[in-house]
Every structure is written in C-alpha cells, then in structure tokens.
Amino acid sequence: MAELIERHGKLSMEGRRRGAKPDPFGALIGIVAAQQLSSKAARTIEGRIEDAFGGALPTPAQALRGAARLRDAGLSGRKVEYIQGIARLAKSGELDLTELEALPDAEVIERLAAVRGLGRWSGEMYLISYLERPDVLSGGDLGIRRGIQVALGLPEMPSIEDAEEIGERWAPHRTLASFYLWREASTAPPG
C-alpha cells in the first residue's frame, strides 16, 4: 500500500462526492446503474437520469412513474425493473433505508442483498459510497481485484476469497485501500 500511496499521492474519503449527497434511494439508483459498468459509463448514465428528472435523482414515487425516462437515460429494462422494485419496497416501508445508517456493516449488506436486483456488491458499495464506512473492501469488485493484481504483480486476477483475504491486512482502513486499488486499476495498462 505504501507504494500505491507514493505513486498516486494522498487520497481521502473526504470530498469524493460531486455535488450534494443523494438520499438513500438515490444512492441505490446510482449503485444499480453502476452494476457491470465502468465508472465512467455509470457516471454518464447517472447524469442522464438526473437530467431526465429535472436535475436530481428521482424519488421512489417518480421512479415508479418514470420507467420510460429511466430507459431513455440508458438503463436496461432489467435495471429499470430493479429500481422500480426497490422504489415499491421503499415507498411501502418494507425497506426502511433510513434505518440502515445505524446498522452494522454485515447487517446492511444482508438487508440490501435480500432485495431483488441488489446483492453483496451493492451492499458493499452502499457502505462505501453512501454510508462512508471506513473499513469496507469488496472482494467481488473487478476494479479492486484488478488493482490487487497490478499492485502485487500477480499473474492473474485474485479470486473473490483471495482478494478479501489480502484485504485483511489493510483493516481498519479498507475503504481507503479500495480507493487506491481502484486508482491503480484505472491507471494500469490493459491486460
């Protein structure tokens, strides 16, 4: 990690968000939009969603009425279904997003992973990007696994389990380590 800090300079958990912090539902929209996409593509689609809904991510009620706008912003039909399912749960109170803030990391992941369209990775990204928890490393994230591969000079990308085991050495600062690994992956030559 010392080499990554030397190479990439000081990174911080502070001030990583552009603009105002979204509400918890908006954060999940961003996470669903980012599934299986590059960071750049995900940011582009999230920006289009904001544009489609008057400059902000939609509320659950707006998302339920705005399937066409979500699709037109670049979301697949499946991702629109996921967002509308999350919106229904949030609107009915079955998924109380405000209570997640007080829960331990493992319980946040468990509750979000139980929702159709979300999973462990989504829960981990929610912990990192919305709740700003300091000790989260997602072994299932391809950017993190690629960053570990490059940083450690491994011949192939580590498995999820190996990435999580390697990440143990960075506790209790695994979120910050994740930022360095993402940076390393994004600046490494392809292949």
Q: Quick check: helix, strand or coil at residue 176?
A: helix
141 included as an active-site residue? yes
Q: Show the CA angle centred on residue 108, arms to residues 104 and 112, nearest 5°.
A: 175
- Give the residue from 126, 22, 29 showing the smallest Cα distance to 86: 29
Query: In whole angstroms, what is the distance from residue 26 CA to residue 114 CA?
Result: 18
Active-site option among 51, 72, 96, 141? 141
Query: In whole angstroms, what is the distance from residue 24 CA to residue 38 CA?
Result: 22
Cis preceding linkage at 172, omega within 30: yes
Q: Quick check: helix, strand or coil at residue 181?
A: helix
DSSP structural state of residue 58: P
Query: In whole angstroms, what is the distance from residue 61 CA to residue 51 CA?
Result: 17
Query: In whole angstroms, what is the distance from residue 34 CA to residue 27 CA?
Result: 11
- Tell me the CA end-to-end span of the chain in Å, nearest whole number: 21
Q: Annotated catalytic sites, by residue?
A: 141
